[in-house]
Amino acid sequence: MKEADIAQNILSNLDQRPLTGNVNEFLTAEKQGRNPTVRLERGILTRTFQMLHDEMRQTSNQASSLIGRKEFSSSTEQLDLFHNLKAETNHIKHDMDELNRQVTDPTHVTNIEIESEESGRHILPVLELDLQKPKEGEVDTRIPWVGIGGVGSVTEQNFALWMSLALQGERVIVLPYPERNETKPDNWRKLVRKHGKGASLHEQVFIQAVAAYADKIGIKKVNLIGHSVGAEVVIDMAMQAHPAVKINHVIAVEPVGFQGKNLLHNSRDFAFSQAKLTKADQEAWIKMVEQGKENKPPTMFDWLLFAQISGEKVFTPDNLARVQNTGKFQIYVGEQSPVVNVEKIKEITQKIQPDNTTCLPEVFQVEGANHDSLVTHGMGFSRVLLENLQSETPSSDDIHELSINDMESSVAEHILKSIIKTL
C-alpha cells in the first residue's frame, strides 16, 4: 500500500470522529497546564499514531507493540509515513504549547485603557498570539488579525480559531468583551441599552482599543475577523473611519444583525437549538464550552443583554454601503445554522447601492455547518479562508458554496492532508 493510501485510510477513520469513548480521555491526557483545546488536539494526535501503529502491526512480519524497536518490520511506505508524521507532529506540538503559554500567561497580555463620554472608562486585556515574531532588525510585513469572539467571550474562548490562524503563520490580536473585564462603568448595561441597536457601543469600545493597541505596537493596518455577535461588531468597525488604523480584510463568520428576532425566539435559537448541536458533538463541546470555562461566567443580567442585542436587526443596504475597508469583505454562514439565515443576508446585501469607496461583500454558505462549526473546524476554515483571500473570487450576486467536509476539524487531520498533498 502506498504512503498516500495509508495516510488516506487513517484520515478516513479520523473523519468518523475519534471521540467515541469517554471525553475525559482527551481532557486529562497530558494535562500539564494545557487548556482543553490543546489537550484535545494532542489527544487526537496520539490517537492518529495509535491508528498508524495498528496499521503497521497488521502488515508486519514481526509484530511489536513498540514502533521504535529494531526488530519491528514494516513496509517502507509505512515507515516513511511514520517519520513524516512524527516530524510534523513534534513541530506542531511545540507550536501549540507555545500558543498555550501565550494564552494562559497573565504577563503576556497588554492592558489597554480607553475612555469616552459615551462608553465610559475601560481597561481591556489585549492578547496577541504569534509564532513568527521577527528578529531584531527585521521588518514584519504581515497585517495582524484582530479577533472578536462570540458574545460575552474572553480571550481564551474561540481559541480553536485563533490558534489555527496562528499555526498557519498569522499574527492574531484578541480582545475580550467589556462585560468580562474588571474595569468598566458600573452602569455599562444601561449605557448599552441606551446607545442604540445591537452591539454598536461594543464596537466603539473595540475600535478605540484596537487603535490604542495599534499605536502602542506601531502598526497602521489590521484585518478583522469575528464570530456571531463578534461578526456584527467587525462589520460595524469597518463602517467607522479611524485615523490611527486602517482596516484591510473584514471576515464575518455567522454574523447576527441581519434579521430581527424577539428575545424569546433568539434565546431559543442560541440556548436550545445551537446548544443541542454543540452538546451532541464532543469536539465542539470541548472547544466551545470547556475552553474558557474556568473564567467567571457572565451574570444572568449579562446574558439577557446579550440575547437582546444579538437579536436586533442592525444592517441595512444603506449602512453596509459605508463599509470601506481596503481588502476583501467576506461573510461565511453555516447551511444548518439555527441562528443565522443566509437568505436574509443575501436579501440585504444584493440591495446595496455602492459608491466608489464601498467594499461589497462576498457571501459563502458552508454545507453541513452550524453556528459554531467554522470555529470548531478552525484548522480547515482558516486554511480555506487564507486561500480565498489569495484568489480572485468570481464576481457574482450568488452565494458561493463550500462544504464543512472539506475543512479539517483537527491538527492531526490537517497534518495528514498536508502529507497527502505532497506525495
Residue 71 and residue 113 in one domain:
no
Residues 18 and 53 in one domain: yes
**81/158: higher pLDDT:** 158
40 shares a domain with 118: no
Last residue in a domain, options 100, 135, 151: 100
Residue in 9, 155, 159, 168 with CA at minimum distance from that of residue 78: 9
- Of the candidates 338, 276, 263, 337, the one whose C-alpha atom is nearest the C-alpha of residue 307 is 263
Residue 351 lies in a domain: yes
Backbone angles phi, psi at 99, to 5 degrees: -65, -35
Does 147 share its domain with 91? Answer: no
Does residue 228 belong to any structural domain of this protein? Answer: yes
Mean pLDDT of 3-9: 74
The pLDDT of residue 150 is above 50: yes
> Is 70 exceeded by the pLDDT of residue 19?
no
Residue 65: DSSP 8-state: S
Residue 423: inside a domain, yes or no?
no
Average pLDDT of every residue of the chain:
85
pLDDT band with cut points at 50, 70 and 90 for residue 72 = very low
Instruction: Provide the CB-side half-sphere exposure for 188 (13 A, CA).
Output: 20
Task: Tell me which of 151 and 22 has the higher pLDDT.
Answer: 151
pLDDT recorded at residue 139: 85
State the pLDDT at residue 422: 78
Distance (Å, whole) CA 381 – CA 386: 9
Sign of the CA dihedral running 230, 231, 232, 238: positive
Question: pLDDT tens-digit profile of 84-132?
Answer: 888 889 999 999 999 999 998 989 999 999 999 889 999 999 999 999 8
Q: What is the mean pLDDT of residues 39-54?
A: 85
The pLDDT score that the predictor gives to residue 182 is 82
> Does residue 21 share a domain with residue 41?
yes
326-381 confidence digits (pLDDT tens): 999 999 999 999 999 999 999 999 999 988 777 889 999 999 999 999 999 999 99
Grid cell listed for 9: 485510510
Residue 419 domain-assigned (yes or no): no
Q: What is the pLDDT at residue 75?
A: 64
Residue 268 located in a structural domain: yes
pLDDT over 90 at 394, yes or no: no
Q: pLDDT at residue 64 above 60? A: no
How many folded domains does the chain comprise?
Answer: 2
Q: What is the pLDDT of residue 2?
A: 67
Helices (H), 178-262: 188-195, 200-217, 229-239
Together in a domain, 118 and 95: no
Q: Which of 80, 100, 120 is the last residue of a domain?
A: 100
Domain that holds residue 296: 108-410
Q: What is the mean pLDDT of residues 13-32?
A: 57
pLDDT for residue 73: 47
Residues 382 and 304 in one domain: yes
* Phi, then psi, of 136 in degrees rounded to 5: -60, 130
User: In 3D, which of 223, 226, 243 has the Cα closest to residue 234?
Assistant: 226
Is the predicted pLDDT of residue 50 greater than 90, yes or no? no
Residue with cell 497530558: 30
pLDDT for residue 63: 42
CATH number at residue 356: 3.40.50.1820
27 with 165, same domain? no
- Supply the pLDDT for residue 277: 93
Asked whether residue 422 is domain-assigned, the answer is no
pLDDT tens for each residue of 264-322: 888 888 888 998 999 888 889 899 988 887 776 777 777 777 787 888 888 999 999 99
Strands (E), 90-160: 110-116, 120-129, 145-148
Together in a domain, 61 and 168 = no
Chain position carrying cell 441581519: 258
Is there a single domain that holds both residue 178 and residue 267? yes
Q: Are residues 11 and 136 in the same domain?
A: no
Last residue of a domain, one of 65, 81, 100: 100
Average pLDDT of the residues in 221-243: 91
17 or 228: which carries more pLDDT confidence? 228
pLDDT tens per residue across span 152-162: 788 888 999 99
- Residue 206, pLDDT > 50, answer yes
* 63 shares its domain with 15: yes
Amino acid at site 317 = P
Q: What percent of the chain has pLDDT over 70?
A: 89
With respect to residue 415, please indicate whether it lies within any of the assigned structural domains: no
Q: How far is CA 322 from the centre of its chain?
A: 26
Residue 417 lies in a domain: no
As a whole-number percent, the residues of the chain with pLDDT over 90 amount to 48
Do the Cβ atoms of 56 and 78 come closer than 8 Å?
yes
